[in-house]
Amino acid sequence: MSITKRFFGKLSDGREVTAFKITNQDGTEAEILDYGVTLRTLKILDKNNNFIDVVLGYDTAEEYEQNDGYFGAVVGRFANRIRGGKFVLNGTQYSLALNNGENHLHGGKFGFNRYVWNAKEVENGIEFSITSPDGDEGYPGKLDVTVTVTFINGELTLSYHAISDKDTILNLTNHSYFNLNGCGNILDHLLTVNAETFTINDSGCLPTGEIVSVKNTAMDFLSERKIGELIESDDPSVKLCGGYDSNFILSKSPAAVVRSKESGIVMTVTTNQPGMQFYTANKTTKRAGKNGAEYNRRSGFCMETQHFPDSINHPEWPTCILKAGEEFKSFTKYSFLLDK
Ligand code: BGC
C-alpha cells in the first residue's frame, strides 16, 4: 500500500487543497481531499477486472466549492436538518445558521465540508483534524474533531472522534454519492437495508416525530429490491421529497448491502450509528462531473449513517448530546466485494 499527495487546487479565498491517494497492491485506490475530507475517487475492480470509480466527484477545487450537494464530504457539526435551526441544551436556547429555507442543514453555511483539514499519514490511511471554535455556526463549545480514513482489503473505513470543552450536540457523517456502475443512474441497483422502522418526514424533509414500520411502504428493503422499484410511486415516503430522502432506524448489522448486477460489485455498509439517511440524489441537477462524466438526478445514492435528523428536538430518540470532556467515537465502513 502507498500514500501519495498532490496539489489539487485553490479555493476562492486562496486556501490550498491537497489530494491524498491511497493505493493498494491490487490497484484499488481511494483519493481524499483535505477540503471537507472529501472522498473524491474510489476505484474498485469489477467482475471483468476493470476499475470502476464508484463515487461521484469533480475535477477542480472550484467545482467542489461552488456546487451544491456535499459531494463526497464529511458533514457536521450536525448532519441533516434541525428544525428552525433551534434547540435547547441545559436550559439555553441556541440558534444555528439557517441554510435550508428556515432550517439548518449539514452544519450550516460554513460546515465541516468547507474546512481545509490538517492531514497526517497514519497506518493504512490518513488522519484529518480540525478545531471548530466555540459558537461556530451557532453551536456551543470548542470542538476538536478527527476523521481517520483507511482503505485496505476492499474496506474503506471512516472513524470519527471528537471532544468538546462545553456540552454540545454532534452528528457526523459522510455524504458520498455512490454508483456501483461508475455512471448512469442507480435505479437498477439492488438494495437491502436492515431497518424495520423509519422516521416519517414532513414536506420539508424533517421528521414529524412519528416512527413507523417499513412494512407496506416504499421503505421496505428488508428483502432485496431494486432502488427504482417504488421510487416514483405515490407512497409518501418517496413522494414528499422527490425520491428517497428518509432516515432508516437500523435494526441489525450490516446496515445495508447494495449490489449491481452490471459491475458485479457488492457494497456493504457497517456502522455503530443508530440511523441512516438514504438519499437518491433527488435534487442533483444536470452537471459535469470528473473525467468527462455527466451527472443528473439519480446518478448516485448516499448512505448517510447518522443520528436521526433533528434528534436534539426529540429527546425520546438516541441522544446526539456530547458532554464536555467526553470522547465522541463513531465509525462507518464501506466494504467492497464481487458477487459470487
Ligand atoms: C438531505 C437532502 C439534501 C441533500 C443535500 C441530504 O442528506 O437529506 O434533503 O437535499 O443532503 O445534498
- Output the nine-digit C-alpha cell for 228: 427504482
pLDDT of res. 221: 98
Arithmetic mean of pLDDT over the chain: 98
Give the pLDDT of residue 178. Answer: 99
pLDDT in tens, 205-214: 999 999 999 9
Segment 151-167 shows an average pLDDT of 97
DSSP run (H or E) holding 238: helix 236-239
Average pLDDT over residues 238-258: 97
Is residue 111 a contact partner of residue 139, using CB atoms and an 8 Å limit?
Answer: no
Strand locations in 11-70 (E): 16-23, 29-33, 38-45, 51-53
For β-strands 190-193 and 256-259, DSSP reports them as antiparallel
Do the Cβ atoms of 324 and 164 come closer than 8 Å? Answer: yes
Grid cell, residue 270, equals: 457497517
Can 304 be counted among the known catalytic residues?
yes
**Nearest residue CA, atom 8 of ligand 1?**
245
Instruction: Write the CB contacts of 40 (distance below 8 Å, at least 6 apart in sequence).
Output: 19, 31, 32, 33, 55, 57, 58, 72, 290
Q: Among 106, 127, 137, 175, which one carries the catalytic annotation?
A: 175
The contacts of residue 173 (CB under 8 Å, 6+ apart) are 74, 75, 76, 79, 80, 273, 277, 304, 305, 306, 332
Q: Looking at ligand 1, which residue's alpha carbon is closest to its atom 5?
A: 69
Interval 235-248 mean pLDDT: 96
- The rounded Å distance from CA 279 to ligand 1 centre is 7
Say how many CA atoms lie within 13 Å of 32 toward its Cβ: 31
Question: How close is the Cα of 139 to the center of ligand 1, in Å?
Answer: 20
The atom of ligand 1 lying closest to the CA of 284 is 12
pLDDT the model gives residue 199: 98
Give the three-state DSSP class for 170.
coil
Centre of ligand 1 to C-alpha 282, Å, is: 8
How remote is the CA of residue 303 from the centroid of ligand 1, in Å?
11
Which atom of ligand 1 approaches the CA of 282 most closely? 10
Ligand 1 atom 2, closest CA: 245
Q: CA 175 to CA 184: how far, in whole Å?
A: 19
Cα 290 to Cα 69: distance, rounded to the nearest angstrom: 15
Written as nine digits, the cell of 191 is: 438494495
How far CA 143 is from CA of 34, 112, 132, 293, 312, in Å, comes to: 18, 11, 5, 37, 18
301 alpha carbon to ligand 1 midpoint, in Å?
11
- From 106, 127, 304, 314, active-site residue: 304
- Does 112 have pLDDT greater than 80? yes
Global pTM reads 0.98
Pocket test for ligand 1, best of 172, 201, 205, 279 (most atoms within 8 A of CB): 279
> What pLDDT, on a 0 to 100 scale, did the predictor assign at position 340?
77
CA of 225 to the centre of ligand 1 (A): 23
Alpha carbon distance 43, 92 (integer Å)? 47
Residue 308 has pLDDT above 90, yes or no: yes
Q: List the beta bridge partners of residue 191.
A: 225, 258
Name the residue of 67, 106, 297 to mutate for ligand 1: max ligand atoms within 8 A of Cβ.
Answer: 106
Mapped onto helix, strand or coil, the DSSP state of residue 247 is: strand
Q: How far apart are the first and last CA of the chain?
A: 26
The Cα angle at residue 302 between residues 311 and 81, in degrees rounded to 5: 25
* Alpha carbon 51 to its chain's center: 23
pLDDT tens readout for residues 48-76: 999 999 999 999 999 999 999 999 999 99
Q: Which one, of 223, 224, 241, 220, lies nearest residue 232 by Cα?
A: 241
Q: ∠240-109-98 over CA atoms, to 5°?
A: 55
What residues flank ligand 1, with Cβ below 6 Å?
69-70, 80, 205, 245, 277, 279, 283, 304
Q: Which three cell numbers stand for residue 14?
A: 486562496
